[in-house]
């Protein structure tokens, strides 16, 4: 599913030069590498500002808080999100309200969003799952109608675009993980928040640096969530190669789609979307048997995510029983992730394709 050393070896000299550049200066926090990386991220996403933080979970947590969501507010979230989305809201004492998913792009179903709005609803958290952009047009219409804050979780979707716009530029806040396995991944934990709002950007920065405006002067109570200089420098190297590597992911996905057409459910593809394919996810009611078949051919697979958030034990312990989400629950039992990382060789890609088609043959 993933081979991190191939990327390192391909760009080893660039990575070592970046490390030397930082370590020889001796400034490890809040320096020129971070400032340059934030400017480059803002240019990528198409937002006015980008602020580095310590992780994708912090990007969600600080972004939601900076966007004005407060304890007791309800935020609507698709039921097949990752647990970090719930944790980020829970840490702010915001109440997550799950809704069922759209059948095609697996984003929150707009009709379900509209039906779930209550007088306490203040926001919508949209996850661009597996790197396929959710359709933001009807979601933003629900948000405008009910005056809701939109937060985008783009942790699977670096470089993904909808209608010519990068995901993360549609809502008040775009939250990105830069963890090691992501399309744009640090050598450790990291994340960033994109926004067009100067106040939100400044608040994210303050929240991540103990609210400190200057030494010994704290404008608000925050915490410690900083993207350090070394990670920023290494990520700047990776950012230069992101589009090339995403194009390789798309080429692999295109090959799979051609080979698997009519055999399994495939990721949504249309003229509006440029996916990032953080995962290539097929859907089949024979998942367990197919996964075992691929394992016998020494092909690793994954399931993202087998249990929707409202069926997790932690959810029941805190929030009690949740209503059924039929589509999310059915789809969670069908999804299977195949290797799609850009360092796969053509022979490895064909090996995966042959193994899948041989199962159905």
Q: Distance (Å, rounded) from C-alpha 6 to C-alpha 72?
A: 46
pLDDT score recorded for residue 119: 98
At residue 144, the pLDDT reads: 98
- Structure-token pair, residue 263: 């055999």
pLDDT given for residue 88 in this prediction: 96
Mean pLDDT by 10 residues, the chain (361 residues): 95 98 94 98 98 98 98 97 96 97 97 98 98 98 98 98 98 98 97 98 97 92 96 98 98 98 97 98 98 98 95 94 95 98 98 98 90
Three-state SS at 173:
strand
CATH of domain 242-360: 3.90.1150.10
| Residue 301, φ and ψ in degrees, nearest 5 | -135, 175
Q: What is the CATH architecture assignment of 4-236?
A: 3-Layer(aba) Sandwich (3.40)
Give the pLDDT of residue 96.
97
**Count of alpha carbons within 13 Å of 286, Cβ hemisphere only?**
11
Structure-token match 């792009």, residue found: 105
- Decide if 40 contacts 34 (C-beta within 8 A): no
In the chain, domain spans: 4-236, 242-360
pLDDT at 276: 98
Query: pTM of the prediction?
Result: 0.96
| pLDDT in the model for residue 186 | 98
Please give the sequence-ordered ranges of beta strands (E in DSSP) within the chain, or none if there are none. 49-53, 74-78, 95-99, 121-127, 149-153, 161-162, 165-166, 173-177, 191-195, 212-214, 217-218, 273-274, 280-283, 335-338
- The strand pairing partners of 280, in sequence order, are 338
Q: What is the C-alpha to C-alpha distance for residues 311 and 332, in angstroms, rounded to an integer?
A: 11
Q: What is the pLDDT of residue 349?
A: 98
CA within 13 Å, CB half, 196: 9
């Amino acid at each position: 599913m993933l081979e991190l050393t191939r990327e390192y070896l391909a760009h080893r000299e660039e990575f070592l030069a970046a490390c030397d550049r930082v370590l020889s200066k001796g400034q490890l926090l809040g320096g020129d590498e971070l400032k340059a990386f934030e400017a480059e991220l803002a240019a990528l996403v198409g937002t006015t500002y980008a602020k580095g933080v310590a992780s994708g979970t912090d990007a969600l947590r600080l972004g939601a808080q900076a966007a004005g969501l407060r304890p007791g507010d309800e935020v609507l979230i698709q039921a097949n999100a990752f647990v970090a989305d719930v944790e980020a809201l829970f840490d702010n004492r915001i109440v997550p309200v799950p809704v069922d998913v759209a059948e095609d792009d697996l984003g929150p179903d707009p009709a379900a969003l509209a039906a779930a709005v209550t007088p306490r609803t203040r926001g919508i958290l949209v996850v661009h799952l597996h790197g396929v952009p959710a359709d933001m047009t009807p979601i933003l219409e629900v948000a405008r109608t009910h005056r809701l804050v939109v937060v985008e979780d783009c942790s699977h979707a670096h470089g993904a675009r909808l209608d010519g716009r990068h995901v993360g530029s549609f809502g008040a806040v775009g939250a990105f993980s830069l963890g090691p396995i992501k399309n744009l991944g640090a050598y450790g934990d990291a994340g960033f928040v994109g926004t067009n709002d100067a106040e939100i950007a400044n608040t994210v920065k303050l929240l991540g640096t103990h609210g400190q405006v200057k030494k010994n002067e704290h404008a608000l109570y925050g915490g410690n969530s900083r993207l350090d200089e070394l990670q920023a420098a290494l990520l700047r190297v990776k950012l230069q190669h992101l589009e090339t590597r995403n194009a390789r992911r798309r080429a692999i996905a295109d090959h799979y789609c051609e080979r698997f057409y009519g055999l399994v459910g495939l990721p949504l593809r249309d003229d509006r979307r440029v996916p990032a394919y953080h995962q290539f996810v097929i859907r089949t009611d024979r998942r367990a048997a197919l996964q075992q078949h691929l394992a016998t051919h020494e092909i690793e697979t994954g399931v993202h995510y087998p249990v929707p958030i409202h069926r997790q034990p932690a959810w029941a312990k805190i929030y009690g029983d949740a209503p059924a989400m039929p589509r999310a629950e059915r789809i969670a039992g069908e999804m299977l992730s195949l290797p799609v990382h850009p360092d796969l060789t053509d022979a490895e890609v064909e090996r995966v394709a042959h193994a899948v088609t041989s199962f159905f043959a």
